[in-house]
Amino acid sequence: MSTVKSGRLILAAILAILVYGMIAAMLGTLLPNLSARFGLTPEQSGNIAFAQALGLIIASVSIGPLIDNKGKKTGLLLGLTLIAAALFLLPASGGYTHLIAWMFLLGLGGGMIVTAANALVSDLNEARRASTLNLLNLFFGLGGLLTPLVAGNLLSGNVIAMCYVVAVLTAATLLIHALTTMPKPTGERGFKLSEVGLVTGNPSLYLLSLMLFLYVACEVGVWNWLAKHLTAQGIPESQALTILSLGFALGMLVGRVAVSRILIRISSQNVTLGASVLMAATTYLTLQTKDPSVAWVTVFCAGLAMAPVFPTTLAMAGDAFPKATATAMGIVITFGWVGLAVSSKIIGGIAGGDDQQLGTALLVLPGFSVLMILVNLALRPVLAAAKARRQGLEAQNRSR
């Protein structure tokens, strides 16, 4: 693949992930305003988050085979179209039911572009897949930083205007993708129904899926609930949104820049293990303070800790599944969105109608981080055995 063509593909993928980062932070940015406007309880807010998660789940589990057989461009164009439509419709919501519908549509589009963009970049540099995917996904952190920062400062809290800003950016990204030539799928690496056992019969699929399930539950718990929790502790809403953007999102952005170099020397398994340990510590400490300055420091450190987990887990999936890569990635990502749905329901359910209980409910985050440590330890021998089998088959093929 030529350098020019590769550069264009990376640009297209970056814009898609930037858009997803901005919509991932959208619900957390909108919730304080929507709660006041429509009188939403934490439980109803959890249901809205669940609708978005359901859209992500349906899209991710179904888009993989389509991408493997029809190409990444198909998945990207379809996903961006749905996101643009949802963002233009969201400001006109008439109440709770409309919010659920548009967030579901937003989830559908988001699930499609995450799988397609990561699969696109995963194939560009297989030798440094984990490092490349972390560099790509730092733009997710940038998008997550921009949404609350722009809404809370440049737009003076006008979150409805923020919907239109992101909608226009999504429409522009859709046009760029439509004009970008992307590789067509090959029969050799495509998804065949007869080979589904090669994917579902690999135990690493389920451990990687569980890892992403737990991780996304933690990350989205921060995006969706942190600003509301800080506001309940007496921190002004604009300041809480700034902590979310210049704390958590900035930490993720900086972390992915740094870890892309670290992954050249340190294995993906060791990086994700260290990240899981730090996640458990930082998310717990974040819930123990009411001081804005201390909250910023702990939230920034939590962002640093979480930064490498999502893209590095997908890189491990790409390494484990050289065939039907997008299908395997789609399944792993799907379980991540199941984590989103479960964490939001649990957090909203524990808090009930009392915002002061969010601190207790958010203890789900350090709890899930501890479980990630155990999954990481169980995954190591499975990946090592799969790698040894793959190398053995390659050696046999070369000797023939």
The pLDDT tens digits of the residues spanning 74-117 come to 889 999 999 999 999 888 887 888 889 999 999 999 989 988 88
Q: Quick: pLDDT tens for 156-176.
A: 777 788 889 999 999 999 999
Q: Kindly state the tokens that stand for 210.
A: 């569980």
Q: Kindly state the tokens that stand for 258.
A: 């740094």
Cα–Cα distance for residue pair 266/262, rounded to 1 Å:
6
pTM for this entry: 0.74
List the chain residues with pLDDT less than 70: 1-5, 185-200, 323-324, 353-354, 389-400
Cα–Cα distance for residue pair 164/283, rounded to 1 Å:
32
If you write DSSP's letter for every residue of 224-256 in order, what string do you get? HHHHHHHHHTT--HHHHHHHIIIIIIHHHHHHH
**pLDDT value of position 243:** 86
Q: What is the DSSP letter of 357?
A: G
**pLDDT value of position 96:** 86
Indicate if the alpha-carbon torsion angle 316, 320, 323, 328 is positive or negative.
Answer: negative
**pLDDT value of position 371:** 96
Indicate if the alpha-carbon torsion angle 254, 18, 131, 271 is positive or negative.
Answer: positive
**pLDDT value of position 156:** 74
- Nearest to 111, CA basis, from 99, 103, 121: 103
**pLDDT value of position 349:** 81
H helices within 71-128, ranges in order? 72-89, 96-122
**pLDDT value of position 199:** 66
Q: Kindly state the tokens that stand for 249.
A: 């999102």
- The total of other beta-carbon atoms located within 10 Å of residue 281's CB is 15
Domain ranges of the chain: 3-181+198-394
- The total of other beta-carbon atoms located within 10 Å of residue 179's CB is 9
Whether the CB-CB separation of 57 and 341 falls below 8 Å is answered with yes
Q: What is the DSSP letter of 39?
A: T
User: Which 3 state secondary structure label does DSSP give 351?
Assistant: helix
- Please give the helix or strand (H or E) that residue 385 lies within, else none: helix 364-399
**pLDDT value of position 188:** 46
CATH of 3-181+198-394 among 1.10.1740.10, 1.20.1250.20, 3.30.565.10, 1.20.1440.230:
1.20.1250.20
Count of alpha carbons within 13 angstroms of residue 183, beta-carbon side: 21
End-to-end CA distance of the chain: 29
Q: What is the DSSP letter of 150?
A: I
Per-residue CA distances from 145 to 29, 107, 230, 241, 248 (Å): 11, 19, 17, 10, 8
